[in-house]
Amino acid sequence: MVVVKRSGDRVTYDRSKVTLGVTKACEKRPVSLEEIETIVDRMEHVLAAAGRREVPSSDIGRLVMAHLHEVDDVAYIRFASVYHSFQSIDEFFDLLRDLRTERNGNQ
């Protein structure tokens, strides 16, 4: 599988890069290595099922975020802050506000 970066560059998919990004987001959080591997496995499964040879890096990021969201809110926010490349603190607070609203609505 080929990953199409934001810059338009194309690189070969590297599971270790995705795993490292998720691991960094989960650092000092109660997320096991097994859960991290499961997140990456689930993301890869979705991409494989789509059957595309080229995948935008943004699709990988969105899928990882969706799975992290289910596992740990702090890790999700950490990953999202890198994925979204926030331009202002207001954008970051909007994400936090949306997460809080969602969590309070599901109680």
- Give the residue from 70, 5, 71 showing the smallest Cα distance to 33: 71
Q: Which position has the higher pLDDT, 93 or 11?
A: 11
**CA pair distance 31, 26, nearest whole angstrom:** 6
64 Cα distance to chain centroid: 3
Per residue in 36-48, pLDDT tens? Answer: 999 999 999 999 9
Tokens 């979204």 label which residue? 84
What 3-state DSSP class applies to 54?
strand
Give residue 60's identity as a one-letter amino acid code: I
Per residue in 2-53, pLDDT tens? Answer: 999 989 999 999 999 999 999 999 999 999 999 999 999 999 999 999 999 9
What 3-state DSSP class applies to 69?
helix
Contacts of residue 51, defined as CB under 8 A and 6 or more positions apart, other chains included, come to none
